[in-house]
Chain A
Amino acid sequence: GQNIDQPTEMTATEGAIVQINCTYQTSGFNGLFWYQQHAGEAPTFLSYNVLDGLEEKGRFSSFLSRSKGYSYLLLKELQMKDSASYLCAVTDSNYQLIWGAGTKLIIKP
C-alpha cells in the first residue's frame, strides 16, 4: 500500500531551528510537497521537490532523497507564527496526491 510517515508532534523554541522528517512508500513518484496548515484554515503551499537535493526559500528549506524515500522540511529562526501543522504529500505514478497525517509543530517562547 501507499504510506507516508511523519512525526505526530514536535516542539521547538522561538529563534531555533527545527527539522520535520517525512518518509514515503508509494507506487511511483512524481514529486513531494510540503504544506503549512494553521488550525481551522486550509493548507498553504510551502515547497515542491522532484529532484534530489535541497530547495531553499527564505527561512524554509526542503530536502529530498528519492533513493531513500525521504524528505525533510527545515525551518530556521522560528517564530511564534510558525506554530501550525506541516503536511507532507507525494504525487504517485498516477499523479494522485497522497497525504501524510501532518506534524503539529508547537513553538515555545
Chain B
Amino acid sequence: GAVVSQHPSRVICKSGTSVKIECRSLDFQATTMFWYRQFPKKSLMLMATSNEGSKATYEQGVEKDKFLINHASLTLSTLTVTSAHPEDSSFYICSARVGGQDYGYTFGSGTRLTVV
C-alpha cells in the first residue's frame, strides 16, 4: 500500500532554533501533501496544503513565515518551524491523498516536537 515516511518522529529543540520535518512518499507520487497539527486530545487541524512545484496554501491563522513548506519534488515535502517557541510544541502530521477505490488519505507517522 501507499506509504508516507515522516522524519524525525521526535525532536526536542531550544527556543529560537528551527526544525525541519520531512515527509516522503515511498511508493507513489504525491502531487499534494497536507500538513496537520494536533494538540493533545484534539482533532487534526489543517495547517497548509503543499503542491509540488508551487507555493503552499496556508489556512487562516497559520503564519507563512513561521511554518515554511517546500514541495520540491513529487516524493518530498518539508515543513520547517522557524524560530520555534514553546507554544509550537505539538504533534505534526503529513498526509497525502491516495488514488484508487478507497480514495483514502495516507498519513506519515507524525513528529512530536517539543520546544524547551
Contact = CB atoms under 8 A, between A and B. Distances in A.
Nearest to A98: B46
A44 B104 CA distance: 10
Interface of B: 6, 34, 41-44, 46, 91, 93, 102-110, 112
Given A87-B44, A99-B44, A100-B43, A42 B108 contact: yes
Contact of A43 (B41, B103, B107): B107
A73 to B, nearest CB: 15
A93 B44 CA distance: 20
A31 interface: yes
Nearest to B36: A99
Contact of B107 (A42, A50, A99, A104): A42
A33 B43 contact: no
Contacts of B108: 42
A4 to B, nearest CB: 9
A42 B109 contact: yes
Interface of A: 31, 33, 40-45, 48, 50, 87, 96-97, 99-102, 104
Given A42-B93, A42-B108, A42-B109, A102 B102 contact: no
Main secondary structure of the interface of A (DSSP, over half): loop
Contact of B104 (A33, A100, A104): A33
A50 to B, nearest CB: 8
B43 A99 contact: yes
A31 B102 CA distance: 10
A43 B4 CA distance: 12
Contacts of B109: 41-42
A107 to B, nearest CB: 18
Nearest to B45: A99
Contacts of B105: 33, 45, 97
Contact of B103 (A40, A44, A48, A102): A48
B102 A41 contact: no
A43 B6 CA distance: 13
A42 B41 CA distance: 13
B103 A31 contact: yes
Contacts of A102: 43
